Amino acid sequence: MRVAQAFADKSVDDLKAALAGATIRVYSCPQPDIPDKPIIRNGLLAEFVAASPAFNGDELICVEEKVPAKNVGTPLFARATTPDGATIADFSAGPGNSDVKLAEVSCSAGAPVKITKFQIRPDVPNGVQPISPRDKMVEKFEITQLSHENTYTWNHDFAERKTK
């Protein structure tokens, strides 16, 4: 879970209170580094509105228990925003040890989507992207680049151009 700057010093109970009437959008696009940054690619899968109050104990209560999926995709993260649009936090989404779990592993346009688990865990960081096989090989053999990366003249500035 990544909390927005405006809510960084809030307790779990304060975050639960802030989620009253909030919109929770589930996305299948890359998550921004911090919740205060906008979402560049729109991979919106589903949109829930939290009730007011949003929680009954630790259980999230949404206005609608199931909503129709807007697109096809696999959930990667969810963003909660206040009714006026301010970002509260980004939550990891999907199977495994995620903050937000849905009834299904993926979404299909028009199919019902339901949140089965919603956890507020500010001390648990969101998952990280897996390391690519190329990067594993470079690390394992303690090299700076693979041999074929030297064979093309346009690769003279490869290290500067490559995305990290």
Dump pLDDT digits (tens) for 67-96.
Answer: 999 999 999 999 999 999 999 999 999 887
Return the exposure string of 15-34: e unless at least 16 CB atoms fall within 10 Å of the residue's CB, then b.
bbebbeebbbbbbbbebbee
**Residue 148: pLDDT above 80?**
no
**Would you state the structure tokens that stand for residue 42, as one six-digit string?**
């729109």
**Residue 145: pLDDT above 90?**
no
**Would you state the structure tokens that stand for residue 36, as one six-digit string?**
């205060």
Q: What's residue 31's pLDDT? A: 82
Q: What's residue 130's pLDDT? A: 52
